[in-house]
Amino acid sequence: KKKEKEIWASKWPNLFGEYLGNSAGSEQASGPSTESYPRTVPDEHLLSLKFVFGSSAIQALDLVDRQSVTLVSSPSGRHVYQVLGSSGKTYTCLASCHYCSCPAFAFSVLRKSDSLLCKHLLAVYLSQVMRTCQQLSVSDKQLTDIILTEKKQEA
Amino acid sequence: MAEILRRVLSGSGAAGPGEENTAEAGPPLLLLGAPGSGKTTLLFAAALEVAGEGRGPVLFLTRRPLQSLPRRTEAGLDPLRLQKIRFQYPPSTRELLRLLCSAHESPGPTPSLLLLDGLEEYLAEEPGPQEAAYLAALLLDTAAHFSHRVGPGRDCGLVVALQTQEEADSGDALQLALLQRYFPAQCWLQPDTPGTRERCLRVCLEPGGLGPRAEWRVTFRPDGEMMITPWPTQTGDPSSEKGSSSGGQP
């Protein structure tokens, strides 16, 4: 139970980094690294990802392959992830803690508690580790609108 | 954040800038208690504590101005400290969300502590689980951004006060469980020994996996002064964690 709470308080990228056996965890404090070569996930880890996350793992890897994850950052240093879902809708995932604006997160994770995350969050964490995020720079004002308007889509 | 409250409650106050106060802020903390249980007073004491550390200002978000400045036993109401507490009064959930989402746009010194009083009032406007999670996550994200801005080795702490109901229904329980996912550390304020003229509270601090749980007794004297003493017996019986009626023997 404590482990779960720690996970919610922003430990996911670190966990993934440790789990996949590279140093991705170290970039957590300073934001995403500028180093941009892609990494691959070894086969045995792919199997366990599938074991732990079920069909979400495949869908998330598919999103990563299609480069659907974008790291949006502003000069302030604040940043947020946007994931282009398979339906063509864009969802916002907060960078510092566990939140996605998609309906599956609201239903399966928050309301029913029968999954730990949605495919978009999993895709974000995977692409952090694999360093395959698209990068987008916006103004501080635009970043505010991105973080704020994602709410209205759901309302 | 539990460490700040621990210092406030232990009366080991900020000795001055530097020293051990540079320790990292720790996980975000949820301050829970019934109406009138002293949540605002404790939040304000935490604000004064951090304001005396020689770090950035304290950002105190609340729906309306405090009725009166809570009294403190020591020389807490130092004007220099008070000046470092920046109050903002978002009048609606929408305004609060706007403020948090645009926190990176505001110039000036980066806050070293983010406080929100009366989370329940903001949640009442938009009671769904996703809305609650969004607000909680944004609070964390804002504090994380402030931490990023102050640089390595220094964090912006986060303490949020939530009023609990005497008779919580299942909806309240769900909402609380959801918030606890985002706030690993909690501090419960429970009424104790009713019937006396002085208001007594049992304060239970659970620092979220980083240390032992600790308890204090807080007494508000009739003149409003707050007295804090360690809870007499550190039995720590986990069975009576919530029930306000179970703590019969002081």
Smallest Cα distance from A42 to chain B, Å: 31
Give the integer Cα–Cα distance in Å for B62 and A101. Answer: 26
Strand order in the sheet with A79-84: A90-94, A79-84, A69-73, A134-137
* Cβ–Cβ < 8 Å for A99, A105: yes
Question: Cα A30 from chain centroid?
Answer: 17
Q: Cβ contact (<8 Å) for A2 and B152?
A: no
* Cβ–Cβ < 8 Å for B143, B13: no
- Cβ-in-10-Å burial (0-12, 13-18, 19+) of B94 comes to middle
- A152: chain B residues, CB-CB within 8 Å: none
- A77: chain B residues, CB-CB within 8 Å: 104, 145, 148-149
Considering only CA atoms, which of B39, B10, B8 is closest in space to residue B190? B39
Q: Which residue has the tokens 């949640």?
A: B123
Give the integer Cα–Cα distance in Å for B29 and B7. Answer: 14
A99 and B CB contact within 8 Å: yes
Q: Cβ contact (<8 Å) for A77 and B104?
A: yes
Q: What is the pLDDT along chain B (250 residues), one digit of tens a residue?
A: 777 888 888 775 544 444 444 456 778 999 999 888 889 988 998 898 888 887 889 999 999 888 776 665 455 567 888 889 999 999 999 999 999 999 999 888 999 999 999 999 999 988 788 999 999 999 999 999 999 998 887 889 999 999 998 777 777 888 898 999 999 899 999 887 666 667 788 888 888 766 788 888 888 777 767 778 888 765 554 444 444 333 334 3
Residue A60 has pLDDT above 90, yes or no: yes
User: Is the pTM for the entire model greater than 0.90?
Assistant: no
Q: Cβ contact (<8 Å) for B105 and A141?
A: yes
A28 and B CB contact within 8 Å: no
Task: Copy the structure tokens of residue B110.
Answer: 């980066």
Fold of B2-187: Rossmann fold (3.40.50)
For chain A, the domains span 2-154
- B152: chain A residues, CB-CB within 8 Å: 29-30
**∠ at Cα B44 (B9, B84), nearest 5°?**
120
| ipTM of predicted complex | 0.80
* Cβ–Cβ < 8 Å for B73, B227: yes
Residue B56 has a pLDDT of 85
> Best residue in A10, A109, A147 to probe B by mutation, most B CBs within 10 Å?
A147
Query: What is the number of alpha carbons within 13 Å of residue A3 lying toward its C-beta?
Result: 2
- B56 Cβ partners below 8 Å, 6+ apart? B109, B110, B111, B112, B150, B156
How is residue A3 annotated by DSSP?
H
